[in-house]
Structure 1
């Protein structure tokens, strides 16, 4: 119970931060201009060719078709290994994020940045779907790896690699010009918020099902 309360408390703080950020974006966007512009300029620079090739390739990982395919493969793999709770965690993570991110986009209706885009896209800007989706899937797998992998060094390498990849996808959205840095922060807040809400439920179900021999 104490563990559940801790996750709920963390989720409440993250939700408050997300709401405050959304409020400022909706009603006082000019207050964020200096921060957003400075970060955009630092990351984009003069759009060097090698960096452009790197970031435009990295950003594809967060595309809907790619991230859904990755989740589908993970769910199939976990079911075959009889890791049912893990499979449901991945499913709930991507489904919940998709609904929440889409809803928030229509609540805040933030236009995309007016700077040059390196790809075509549609829809509102806040929060970043690519950022939230890659971070929540990476976070869910980090949790699963932490519980399932025995070798400590290999575990940490896999976990850090997953988080690094999610961060790179997020930064790519700034580089290619389709998101403000504060959209990225919003995506991260949403992803971690949902993971905090899901984790205590997932961990309890996983323990119960293993005790009842419903999964390995």
Structure 2
């Protein structure tokens, strides 16, 4: 019990720190002092543009689209329910659904316009924080977490973790490459989704611990 409590305290401390970092980025955007961070990264990433790489980046952006994420979410929830992992299915739905709602709320609050230079695809809406990045981070992190809990093979766990990181990074970078997001949108998205995701997992672990404790006392 003490170990769980210490773990939960650590998670809440991380959430507070990440919220502080997010607030700092949001403040820098509002004060127009973030360009010294954004512009060099944009120059480096967009400086690698080729026709072949553009096609690859468009593919990763499509993978991170709402339609693809929704299909993967439905499939994952169906598999979890079929495997009788109801609590994990609820965790997955809460993590992903909450991320989507949080992204829309934050976009409405900050209303940052998208970059207006070297845009390779047409897109509307506000820029901060990146919705693709937030959803990709939540989707692949929660998938890795659930698979990690259900697998015991070290190599399988390692492979899933590497794949999750790769997908998150590629989807995030594709948004900068295609000219539809600033790097600060990406960082802000990761921070925002991290807070929601870590809080969701912490609550899930707390409830599961209580449930197992009640079963032991019966």
Deviation at 1:127, TM superposition (A): 0.2
Q: Deviation digits for residues 136-177 of structure 1, max 9, x if unmatched?
A: 111111211221111101110111101211110000000000
- The answer on whether the counterparts of 1:7 and 1:199 sit within 8 Å (CA) in structure 2 is no
Equivalent residue for 1:182? 184
Residue 25 of structure 2 is aligned to residue 25 of structure 1: no
Residue 211 of structure 1, CA deviation: 6.5
1:192: how far off?
1.1
Q: For the Cα contact (< 8 Å) 1:55–1:172, is it kept in 2? A: yes
- Tell me, in whole angstroms, the C-alpha distance in 2 between the residues paired with 1:124 and 1:41: 21
Say whether residues 1:166 and 2:168 are aligned partners: yes
| Structure 2 gap segments, 5+ residues each | none
- RMSD of the alignment, in Å? 1.5
* Preserved contact between residue 101 and residue 129 of structure 1 (Cα < 8 Å): yes
1:196 shift after superposition:
1.4
Q: Which residue of 2 aligns with 1:93?
A: 95
Q: Structure 1 residues 161 and 200, CA, compared in 2 at 3 Å: closer, same or farther?
A: same
Which residue of structure 1 aligns with residue 14 of structure 2?
10
**Once structures 1 and 2 are overlaid, which stretch shifts more, 126-135 or 77-86?**
77-86
What secondary structure does 2:34 align onto?
helix
Q: TM-score, length-normalised on structure 2?
A: 0.92
Q: Name the CA distance, whole Å, in 2 between partners of 1:86 and 1:168.
A: 26
Match of 1:121 in 2: 123
Match of 1:103 in 2: 105
Give the Cα–Cα distance (whole angstroms) in 1 for the partners of residues 211 and 146 of structure 2.
15
Does the 8 Å CA contact 2:114/2:127 hold for their aligned counterparts? yes
Which stretches of structure 1, 4 residues or more, deviate above 2 A after TM superposition?
204-213
Aligned residues: 211
Distance in 1, matches of 2:69 and 2:214, equals 32
Deviation digits for residues 98-153 of structure 1 (CA, Å, limit 9, x no counterpart): 11111111111111001121111111100000000000111111211221111101
5+ long unaligned stretches in structure 1: none
Q: How far has the Cα of 1:6 moved from its partner? A: 1.3
